[in-house]
Chain A
Amino acid sequence: MAVRAETAPVVAAAPRNRAATAAWRSLRRNRLALTGGFLVAIIAMVAMLAPLLPLNDPNRTHPAARLRPPSATTALGTDQLGRDLLSRVIWGARVSMTVGLGATAIALVVGTGTGLLAGFYGGVVDAVAMRAIDVLLAFPYILLAIALVAILGPGLFNAMLAVAAVNVTFYARGVRSAVLLVRQSEYVEAARAIGATPAWTLWNHVVPNILAPVVVFASLNVGWMITETAGLSFIGLGAQPPTADWGTMLADGRAFITVAAHMAVIPGVAIFLLVLGLNLVGDGLREALDPRLR
């Protein structure tokens, strides 16, 4: 997903409860966002219920039934080892969703923390953090993720860490500029005047006021994380066989594209639907939480 600098968090401070009600109303009326939410909910539910569903073992090979196209017996066909693609796609959803949410959570916590400290305390902390981020931003983000995997070694967990690390820079930058604005506001000054400690002010006045844009950015970011991690798996740097991962499945399918096109098409459809759903929800949230877009 290409949610980058141009949609980085901006401050949208407003009285919280009224704003939340208005945002919820705007989100409920947004048909695209509802469709996206529905898509994500269905995929998440199926993924969570995977162990309870009557599915074949995603890793059981069946050489006699290899490269079968979708049919009545195998709904989505089989791969080059005769493994059931329906089962692998559903189990793959668990991998993708875990990786997407995990990477977003890491980037969100580390990036927001860095941005908060840099923006609120300024001085040396700010200078060091921002120069480090400048250097990281000198790499195209995919190159940076690949370089990090080169250091950490190929694997799904390392790919997730690399994708998260790349995104830390975007959260840190966005949060820092939001904090710089909030820091100058009268309520922060008032808190300081009544003798509140910096840490208390940061937690009770700064954090709640930068939360909305961070949530929007994160919601648009999950899809990108999923695509990028699948991409790393696709080029062989992420999930390793026999993990049922959408990126790896697509790479297997690429090798058999002339004889069994379904093998490459199906995992791609899965990635596309999940990411589209997430992006539609994210766009809806952005419109709902940014009063200027409403």
Chain B
Amino acid sequence: MRRYLARRVLAAGMVVFAVSCLVFFVLHLIPGDPAQVLLGPTATSQDLLRLRHELGLDRSVPVQYLTWMAHVARGDFGWSYVLRRPVLPEVAERFAHTLILAGGAMIIAFPLGILLGSWAASRRGTFVDRLSTVVASIGISMPSFWVGVLLIVLFSVRLRWLPGSGMYSPTGEGGGLDLLVHLVLPAITLALVPLAIITRMMRTTLVEVLREDYMRTARAKGLSEAPALMRHGLPNAFIPLVTLLGFQVGQLLAGGVYVETVFSWPGVGQLLVNAILTRDIPIVQGSILLVATTYVIINLATDLLYAVLDPRLRYG
């Protein structure tokens, strides 16, 4: 177990290093000169040269990478060209907003997906089961940015029940309740695809588990269906679900970008897209590095949780 753990942590560290290399070299691959972006079209060639020197852009690429990494290690991701403020606090603040959105979506998708999937599996071949399959197909086929639009049209424009834009009311005082009200529609939108995937996965896994010998044994020793499912079925069905959980959480962080755009949710995805369109490279690097590193950590945590849940991996 300890060796497995050490190997996984080491591998994750190497992936983060490779990601940091990739992210850094984005700077050199993106067309356009950062000094030109900063100074605008009226800059003289002397000004450009001076700024390039100040930014260290006239040094060799490996030196630039090492300097950048040394700064990043101290939490200094540089300054945004466009927002004219340090990258880290900006990205961190936006990332927190994205986490709130992803968290809201998870709270909806996971319990509901497990419930619907189990329900369909326990009624395999019936109308309920077929209906869940069709609904899941429909859920997977609906682009989140369109679902968001539909929800806004219905609940914000027509019914005026819920706000369809932003995190807080511009006129209100803010606060938890205001945030919660603004969170409902984007969280539901973001939850739909994972909900459909979890429902499908839960159904398939549980259908297989229900056929296993240990389930027959449980029934044979007199357990009725519900306790047998709770004690022996679900724990075994949860193992593949853990992998899916890690994968989906990671995807939600980045997948939020469409939902953030539809609902003008000030998350890191929206920040990244705007930074790409305005060639604000430090923000592009900072946000990609932060999201990708978080994703690697989530995957690592999932693998470790998997090892705890599945004894075969622990002793293998």
Contact = CB atoms under 8 A, between A and B. Distances in A.
Contacts of B22: 135, 147
B295 A138 contact: yes
A150 B272 CA distance: 10
A135 B15 contact: yes
A143 B140 contact: no
A142 interface: yes
B292 A143 contact: yes
Contacts of A186: none
Contacts of A251: 261
Given A135-B19, A231-B258, A261-B157, A146 B276 contact: yes
B247 A5 contact: yes
Interface residues of A, number: 48
B99 interface: no
Contacts of B255: 140, 142
Contacts of B258: 231, 234-235
B153 interface: yes
A139 interface: yes
Question: Taking chain A's interface residues, is the majority helix, strand, or loop, or is none over half, making it mixed?
Answer: helix
Contact of B149 (A149, A154, A254): A254
A140 B291 contact: yes
Contacts of B141: 1, 223, 272, 275-276, 279
Interface stretch (B23-31, B45-53, B74-82, B113-121): B23-31
Given A140-B251, A151-B26, A1 B149 contact: no
Contacts of A2: 140, 193, 196-197
B276 A6 contact: no
A235 B261 contact: yes
Interface string B159-196: 00000100000000000000000000000000001001
Contact of B257 (A146, A150, A247): A146
A135 B164 CA distance: 37
B247 A4 contact: yes
A265 interface: yes
Given A153-B31, A283-B137, A264 B153 contact: yes
B152 A257 contact: yes
Given A154-B277, A235-B273, A237-B273, A143 B193 contact: no
A140 B143 contact: no
24 contacts: A1-B140, A2-B140, A32-B134, A138-B18, A138-B295, A138-B296, A139-B254, A140-B295, A142-B254, A146-B276, A231-B144, A235-B258, A237-B273, A250-B146, A253-B149, A254-B149, A257-B164, A265-B150, A268-B146, A268-B149, A272-B141, A272-B143, A275-B141, A283-B137
Interface of A: 1-2, 4-6, 32, 134-135, 138-143, 146-147, 149-151, 153-154, 223, 227, 230-231, 234-237, 247, 250-251, 253-254, 257-258, 261, 264-265, 267-268, 271-272, 275-276, 279-280, 283
Interface of B: 15-16, 18-19, 22-23, 26, 29-31, 134, 137-138, 140-146, 149-150, 152-153, 157, 164, 193, 196-197, 201, 244, 247, 250-251, 253-255, 257-258, 261-262, 272-273, 276-277, 284, 288, 291-292, 295-296, 299
Given A151-B26, A261-B153, A272-B141, 20 more contacts: A2-B140, A32-B137, A135-B15, A139-B295, A140-B291, A142-B257, A143-B292, A147-B23, A150-B276, A154-B277, A231-B143, A235-B258, A250-B146, A251-B261, A257-B164, A265-B153, A268-B143, A268-B150, A279-B137, A283-B137
